[in-house]
Amino acid sequence: MKKIKKMKMKKMKKMKKEKEKEEEEEEDNEDEEQDEEEVVEVEVEVEEEEEEEEEEEEEEEEEEEEEEEEVTW
């Protein structure tokens, strides 16, 4: 009887450890996914900022050209 009980306890402990391990892996995966999402968000932000800077530069160039044209008139 004691032997059976001892075996059951061992099995329970083993199952508990396995479950904890699975939960840790799930958390790690979720963290990894979140990190990937954050990287994508940052990349998108950087692209948007670069586009804005390019647009501003183009506008400045156009303004300079217009000023030069006015001066030549």
Angstrom distances, CA of residue 70 to CA of 57, 64, 65:
20, 10, 9
* pLDDT of res. 64: 86
DSSP code per residue over the chain: -HHHHHHHHHHHHHHHHHHHHHHHHHHHHHHHHHHHHHHHHHHHHHHHHHHHHHHHHHHHHHHHHHHHHHHH-
pLDDT in tens, 35-72: 999 998 999 999 999 999 999 999 998 888 888 777 76
Give the mean pLDDT of 4-26.
Answer: 95
**CA nearest neighbour of 18 among 26, 29, 31, 4:** 26
* pLDDT of res. 73: 57
